[in-house]
Amino acid sequence: PPPPGGVPVNCWRATATERRPSQCIGPETHSPSVLSSTSSMSCTELDLVHDLGSFADHVIAGDVLDHSEAHIPLWRLDATKSLSDFKITVTSKSGGTATYNVHKGILATGARANAYFVKLFTNSPGPMCQLTLAASAANAFPVFLDFCYSSEGKLDAETHIGAALKYIAVYFGNSALFEKICAFIVKDLTWQTAPTYYAEADLYDLEKLSAAAARMCALHFPSADHDELILLKTGLFSTIIESPHLTCDSKLLSRRVADYCRAHSAELTSELLLAITPAKKMPEIAPKEALYLYERAVLYLPQEKGRGSLRQRCMDAGNPFIQTWLKRALWLVRTVLEAQSVRRAGHACTGGAWQYSGIVLPVSSHLLPLAPPHPLPHFASVVGPASVRGRHHHGEERARHSWVHHPEQPPDGRCRGAAGPLKGSKGMERREGGRMKG
């Protein structure tokens, strides 16, 4: 039975202050005589540390393992050192292949197990598998493995791979990774990072992330990274412009839209131009972009008319040269068409564009100098056929002189009607077959 007072019986379970020789009952005997015989021993003698030797004294030299790489995830070590039992080959869609030496037990068990690999290892006993991923997902794959191998579940996520890690979490069925990356994105999604998340979310069909990023881009459109916005696909950019959350000055919006059109000129269509230049959100055009957007309107929106049309808004932009220079440019186009013998019966000039057999011939940017004293374009650079180039120097100089000094009048020899040839300009006579002789 325990001694009076309820003091612990076994010394190894008691603290240093609780250990008293008179109260200790050793494993050899419980006799009171033994207790009395040890009562003269001090606490210092009982607390002696005995030297039992080291691990190196009991093993053969060379058998002691090197633990200097213990902090490195096993998949990053050599396959023979880490005893890897499976290989994953990841091919990026943008080019490049990487092979990872992994371990089945880590990827398919534990708190960070992946449902994908559980099924794979159960149904396919093979030693390797191949995956094809988008570029950002391929770049994020090592971060994903580090997370799976981490004892604390540490995730080294960054903006450019945030959406890719969320896609990987869903694809491989890793709920722990999904919770971690969602918590990271919620903090990291700002107006500075929104364009990147928007583009990446669209790539991986992450609808909720895409909607959140698009809303952030629209709310902070004036402050968002201009270079990142220009890189967005046409459908994504038009979604931002059409968003009810868009807040942007009309003239600034017209500059952003004009820059986007320049960067995506090969993808520009009438539908896209209508979508990104709505009169409701862009009632005013920046004067510096009026000429460029007017040209786009002539080329892609020939049927658009009315007060709110893009052409009319460009004309109202307040550029002091746009109306005068458009008239001059239209006359120059007419002159060039005459020189090329392109104009036939049935041609007409409507709304700033020459129409020929249903084809709209827009006012090209190289025919629209911003202001004098920019020189007139040389006819040889405008007139295409080799038979014309170099044969009309005299007539060209007269046209150039008259155009510059008398902008409201054609050069010597006026045009007669919409389909009439030039007359009276020496060296510019029409001959049969459409060729010119000078």
Pick from 365, 374, 375, 371: which is nearest to 262 by CA? 365
Q: How many other CB atoms sit within 10 Å of the CB of residue 85?
A: 13
pLDDT above 60: residue 287: yes
Strand 348-350 and strand 128-133: pairing?
A: unpaired
Residue 125 has pLDDT above 90, yes or no: no
Contact (Cβ atoms closer than 8 angstroms) between residue 354 and residue 347: yes
Helix axes 159-172, 135-149, angle to 10 degrees: 70
pLDDT band at 294 (very low <50, low <70, confident <90, very high): confident
- Residue in 135, 157, 131 with CA at minimum distance from that of residue 144: 157
> Lowest-pLDDT range, 62-66, 221-225, 362-366, 405-409?
405-409
pLDDT digit string, tens, across residues 322-371: 666 666 666 666 666 666 544 443 444 444 444 433 334 444 444 433 33
d(C-alpha 145, C-alpha 161), whole Å: 14
Closest CA to 337 of 430, 228, 271: 430
* Beta-bridge partner residues of 131: 90
Its sign, for the CA torsion 197, 201, 204, 208, is positive
Give the pLDDT of residue 436.
Answer: 42
pLDDT of residue 181: 97
Distance CA 144, CA 164 (A): 10
Residues 6+ apart with CB under 8 A from 55: 64
Answer whether residue 15 shows pLDDT above 80.
Answer: no
Q: How far apart, in whole angstroms, are the C-alpha atoms of residue 77 and residue 84?
A: 9
Distance CA 428, CA 24 (A): 128
Confidence of residue 126 (pLDDT cuts 50, 70, 90): confident
Helix or strand or coil: residue 100? strand
What is the structure's pLDDT at 399? 41
β-bridge mates for residue 50, sequence order? none
Backbone angles phi, psi at 84, to 5 degrees: -60, 140
Burial class (CB in 10 A: 0-12, 13-18, 19+), 406: exposed
Structure tokens at 173: 């069925």
Mean pLDDT over each residue of the chain, to the nearest integer = 74
**Would you say residue 203 has pLDDT above 80?**
yes
Angstrom distance (rounded) from CA 410 to CA 295: 23
Q: Identify the weakest region by mean pLDDT among 140-154, 222-236, 387-401.
A: 387-401
Q: What is the pLDDT of residue 72?
A: 84
Tell me the pLDDT band of 13, cut-offs 50, 70 and 90. Answer: low
Degrees (nearest 5) of the Cα angle 237, 292, 397? 155
Q: What is the pLDDT of residue 35?
A: 43
pLDDT (0 to 100) of residue 108: 94
pLDDT in tens, 256-284: 999 999 999 999 999 999 999 999 999 99
The predicted pLDDT at position 321 comes to 63
Residue type, position 120, single letter: L
- Reduced DSSP (H G I as helix, E B as strand, rest coil) percent helix, strand, coil of the chain, to 5: 45, 10, 45
Tens-place pLDDT, residues 38-70: 455 555 555 667 777 776 666 665 555 566 666
Q: What CA dihedral angle connects 184, 185, 186 and 190, to 10 degrees?
A: 120
Cα–Cα nearest to 404, from 380, 363, 374, 365? 374
Eight-class DSSP state of 17: T
> HSE-up of 219 (CA within 13 Å, CB side)?
11
CA-wise closest residue to 162 among 123, 209, 104, 116: 209
Side-by-side strand order, sheet with 128-133? 97-102, 86-92, 128-133
Task: Indicate the pLDDT class of residue 93, thresholds 50, 70 and 90.
Answer: very high
Measured between its terminal Cα atoms, the distance across the chain in Å is 134
Tens of pLDDT, residue by residue over 308-323, are: 899 889 888 876 666 6
What is the C-alpha separation between 214 and 113, in angstroms, rounded? Answer: 33
Tell me the residue type at 157. A
Q: Which string of b and e fits 259-288 if b means at least 16 CB within 10 Å?
A: bbbebbeeebeeebbbbbbbbebbeebbbe
pLDDT at 305: 79
pLDDT value at residue 212: 97
Rounded CA gap, 273 and 294, in Å?
11
Crossing angle of helices 250-263 and 234-242, rounded to 10°: 170
Q: What pLDDT shows up at residue 245?
A: 95
Q: Which residues does 174 contact at the CB level (< 8 Å), separation at least 6?
A: 112, 113, 114, 115, 144, 148, 168
Cα–Cα distance measured from residue 402 to residue 314, given in angstroms and rounded to the nearest whole number: 28
pLDDT exceeds 70 at position 391: no
